[in-house]
Amino acid sequence: MIRVIADSTCDIAEELLKDYDLITLPLVITAEGKEYLDGVDLRTEQVYELMKQGILPGTAQIPYDIIHVAFEDCCKRGNDFLYISFSSKMSGCFSFANVVAKELREEYPDIRMELVDSQGGSAATGLIVLQALKMAKAKSSMEEILTQVRFMIEHVEHIFTIADLSWMVKGGRINKPLGFVGSVLNIRPWLDVESGKMVVKGMVRGEKKAISTVAEEVIKRSKQFQTQLIAITHAGDTEAAKKIEKLLKEALPACRTVISQIGGVLGVHLGMGGIGVFFFNERPSEYRL
């Protein structure tokens, strides 16, 4: 049996997971001097509520003992496992997990432990994890699963926009003058992920233009694979997510869509009102989503 492991930055709509047993490793969210395990001690809705109050939570990687317990439990049960991590360029989770796996390989040499850097996050990683879960349940081999996962990592797209630049200022990701001007003029950046890092691709003015820009990019990049599941995530803005969904379904009638919330850790970094769309620019040879 092959177990699939992901961390709490991996956004998958709950209804898509009901038939699968995903092991999720929670990152840490800090707020007002306290530490919480993401999605365990502090739900996403609670994180957003803190942000609405003007509180900027902090984040930290998965605690060592949580990774160790999850990995060793698989070993004790005789299960090979695949951990698909948040981008190593944005978090230390992948590196930390490799330290744990190296320790356990000495004690459990017969267990296959595969760790893969997703080079992204949110529902982009979620789509990849879901494919791995489906293949594991169908008893595909580890090599077959890895082949598909690696292809998907190379061909997954992240297109997202941020509604309020003040959160990027608070988090130190842009300077205060730019944040002030952007907020006054209602300027919204749209971003991508390249080589595992978030990259600002452009600036647009107003929600309507931001939504249309994101939709246009998705439509353009998904032309070679229109019959896929497109994941839309949002940080407390269901209406904006539905507007993007409408534009996509009009232009790509063969696609399917799913809407879910951005998890607490990424919500902290993107701020309230962030919207992301995740999909593949090419069809994997064995697509099960």
Quote the CA–CA distance of 4 and 149 in Å, as a whole number.
12
What is the pLDDT at residue 174? Answer: 57
Proportion of the chain in helix, strand, coil states, percent, rounded to 5: 40, 25, 35
Residue by residue, pLDDT tens for the chain (289 residues) are 999 999 999 999 999 999 999 999 999 999 988 999 999 999 999 998 988 888 888 899 999 999 999 999 999 999 999 999 999 999 999 999 999 999 999 999 999 999 999 999 999 999 999 999 999 999 999 999 999 999 999 999 999 998 876 666 665 555 665 655 556 567 788 889 999 988 888 888 888 999 999 999 999 999 999 999 999 999 888 999 999 999 999 999 999 999 999 999 988 888 778 899 999 999 999 999 9
What is the pLDDT at residue 169? Answer: 61
What is the pLDDT at residue 162? Answer: 85
What is the pLDDT at residue 172? Answer: 56
What is the pLDDT at residue 51? Answer: 86
Taking alpha carbons only, the member of 156, 195, 124, 159 closest to residue 280 is 156
Maximum separation of any 2 CA atoms in the chain, in Å: 60
What is the pLDDT at residue 163? Answer: 80
Q: For residue 253, with 0-12 CB atoms within 10 Å meaning exposed, 13-18 middle and 19 or more buried, which class applies? A: exposed
As beta bridge partners, residue 2 has 80
What is the pLDDT at residue 187? Answer: 79
260, 123 Cβ separation under 8 angstroms? yes
